[in-house]
Structure 1
Amino acid sequence: MKIHRKIALSNTIIFTLYLTAGYIFLKENIRILMLKDHFFIKTIAAVFVFFILSNFISKFMLIAVYNTLEKLDKVISLINNKFIFNLRKELLNMEGCFHQIFSSIKIDIIDILVKESEIKKQKEKAEELSEKLTLLNKNLEQMVEKRTVQLKSAKEHAEAANRSKNEFLAKISHEMRTPLTPIIGYSRMLKKSELSDDTKDKLETIHNSGVKLLNFTNELLDFSKIEAGTVELNFEPFSIRDFFKEIYNEHCEKAEEKNLKFEIDLPKNDITIYSDKMKLYEVVKNLVHNAIKYTEKGSVLCTVEIRNSLLCFDVYDSGIGISDKNINYIFESFGQINKQSAGAGLGLSITKKIIEILKGDIKVESKLGIGTTFNVNIPIEIYKKSNENFSFNLRKLLNKTNPKIKPIILKALLKFPNRLKKLKDAYENRDIEEIRKINHEILGTYGNLNMAFIYGKSRDISRELKKDKVNFEKIISCISELENMNRTLEYDNIFKEYLNMKNKKLSILIAEDVEENREFLRALLDSESVELICVENGLLALKELQNKKFDIIFLDIQMPIMDGLQALQHIKSNFELKKIPTLALTAQAIVGDKEKYLPYGFDGYITKPINEPIFFSHLEYFINSEKEDD
């Protein structure tokens, strides 16, 4: 509105000025103009009219424009206000966002700074630890070096102790086995003689005592083998009554000396069981011996019964008893509660390990001053007496056999111990293919010879081998029965009979430094078909070889002047002598001895005391000009 007024005012002033100027101009020149030209007057009049009209029109136009502009101004103002409001709102939102962003960045930056500080501290700590670790490594290297020296020294001491132990065991083994050779050999030989029942019983006692001593020596010397649970089991049938009667007879005298009541309560019926007799004997003997040893007054009682395929026996005593803290200690190796007691403290330790090997269990209950009870359960089989007359049946077969066939049967029998040993070795290695191969040979040989007692057990092994899952327990049971049959044969007579039927003369040289053993070998090989020369050492053996030809040579390893290894070296280096079969006949029988000495060039290895079936089986194998592959 103000603008409009200003325009109107300015137009009025201008219009007034124009009117004044026009009036003055017209007043002075009106006459001239009128005289000269009417067109000019018309023009002036037209301009004036136009001016009046334009001023009038412009006024109203300006008012319309103004109104429009005023509306536009309001719209723009409204838009402007809204825009400013939205802009302010957006700016506030942006400010919030930026605040959050910068707050987060600020926190991250602070966090980074903190972590950087921690990293710096950790780095400093790591450097400090690194220095300490370097120092520790240096000290550790010194400690390791020092410890290595100590361990090396300890190892040398342990090796020296082990060597001493092995040397001791080898010496004990040799010294024990050497006298056992004539004890076991002569007693076995004399039992065949016609003697009174009383004398035979005494010889049986001597023989059994020798065998027990040998078995106990083996187990004691091979204590590490017992520790590893790899002791070989030799199952055989035996009478429960006879077995425990033997135990009683061995200990009753000691019990009487101490005025103890000693009894063994046996089942009413005599039962023949199938188990490892010698190992079972060690178990019962140790328990009964200890019961009597540690009982000063009262009684010792052993009760025996068979139930559920178990041999169950209890050993009671009214002795000193055992405290609770020592119950487990008594089964430890070299463990002795009473340090004044004699012995090495191995008895109960060996007893427990043997029971575990036999898959049995042992329990003990005891009270100090009252007494002790040992309870033992061992799995056994009730023996069926189908093969107890093996030797008798064999003799009957030989008597009915054609004289031309008889030498073949005798030769097959002489081969049997070696084949049986190979079969057992294959079993111990769990080599099914080797078991099958050897057993197939046994099946073919003894089946064709109509030896049903051997063939039947061999057939049982063959059937078991055909199963998807082989039961090795059944196989060892059959092998054990074959071994028991084998023990019943008199191989010295079989061998001599074989030589006579073949009309064969045999010359044997034996180098053995122990006179008792030489005399026993002379008695064992006494036959018109055998010429035996025995000498005291390897040097004398070489002298005999210069003067005479021999079919087979046996050398003891440990001999004075010249030992068996030195003599063997001379024999194998001589072109004429090296083809003669030369076997070791030695008391070197601890674990590893055979593997140690065979590579020197021995053709065979026989240990003392002499296992007669193996001895004669080796003779049969080596005396033939063509060695058959067993």
Structure 2
Amino acid sequence: MDSINFHNFENLFENSEPKSIDIYINSFSSFLFLKNSLFYNSLKLISKKKSFSNARILVVCDDNQFDSICDLFSSINNVYISNISSFSEQQENLITITINKKILYFFKINYDETKKTFNCNLYNVIFDELIYFFSIIYDILWCTVEKNKSLEKSNIFQQDFIDIASHQLRNPILPIIGFSKILKSKIKDSTVLEYIDIIIRNGEKLRDVANDILDISRIETNSIRVNKEFFDIDKILFDLINEYQDLAVRESVDIKFIYYGKPGLIIEADKSLIAQAFDNLLNNSYFSTKNNHGQEITISLSQKNTSSVTITVEDEGHQMQIKDLNQIFTKFFTKSIGGTGLGLFISKKLFDIHGGTVDIKNRSPDLGLKFTIDLPISNQKISSRSIGNKLYDNRILIIDESSENLHLIKNRIQDLGYGIDCYEDPLNAVQHFVPGKYSLVFLGVDIRGFDGFDLYDELKKRDNDVKGYFITSNKINKDAIDVFFDKDIQYDQFIYKPHLLDSIIKIIKNEHNR
């Protein structure tokens, strides 16, 4: 064990009656010296005196070291410890001790590698007005650290609340929208139909808000998963424009797509996230153009250099003041009635995640806004991308609660030569999910309280090529599929437990023979 030399360190409090003690320890080596010196015992004795109020200790260390420090001082009453590793940089091993804000000791700690000893030297003692300034700095630093801890706790609580609230908000919305649309098909009364349209319209708004809040929660907690793949950016834009065409035609808004280059421009990104980012932009431009009685939106795609692709979205909506242009990508900023101010914020964050940029400016007088997006282009050749829709070692994934037939199903599928993994715990399944490993996944609609459709969404974000089928005991109305699910889910993706084994085998063989 290392020996320790110290110079009257244990006698520090002999000639004073400490009421308050402020200690600064700028390294873990300095702490180790304190731990093995008589100072610790002295502080413990002082803490038992009636005159003693408290001791504050600021330390610079990592989280594991901080736990060790807290453990050491936990047996001493009225000792409070904070870690300022994020506010300080270590240079020398120092300890400062301020007693009653009247006397300040500076100690320098040295470690002799040859003798394996710590040496503590009293570097300076201050009695004058400098103590006042040092105490102010210490108080400010202490309050800053405590405030930061409070904000971190508040942020964690806020994110947990948002995540739970958005899930709880979204779950009842889909049935409300779905049953309202079914009810609408059965009603003839025009007044009642008008009321139902109001329910559907506002339900869809609420659903979109819940989805946006959930996306923001994932973005701000860095929990959003980016599953990059190679795809044609022009196809993404073309498909998105087609989705808006019917709506745009009804409102006499023409959406043009201009492509300066050869078709098949490949980028490497998360396809669903990039599509979502452009969807938000186009949605903003569409409603801005419509509300301003504009007639045209132009989307152009070009490659100006070998490292990036540029997409512009030009609308004929309202122009904006410079101060508003500077805020348009901030959270909750909106100039439209009924807007949440979340869509463009999410778009910018998604472009940022992919190493892209987005800029906005007013077009020539009275012609709306122009968004310019630059995204990096992958340097890999198209032949290097993985091709989906092929069985990887014929491997199948089943996520469902335990049933008597699950073992039978697993053995039967293995007998047919297919690899299979079965999980009863959805969290365990997600943790062990490897993109590209599975071609098919069979999920329960409700697995230990987890929504099977949300779970499928999570898996698709990791591997867009995996195809899912949903296991349920209840028959699903074919006409209700489009109504209830805003996801790309078809009627033939539902299989029923009375015939589960036969259905799974049939699906596997059909997919394998494609």
The TM-score, its normalising length taken from structure 2, stands at 0.42
Q: Considering only CA atoms, is the larger Rg found in Structure 1 or Structure 2?
A: 1
1 or 2, which has the higher strand percentage? 2
Higher relative CO (CA 8 A, sep ≥ 6), structure 1 or 2?
Answer: 1
1 or 2, which has the higher helix percentage? 1
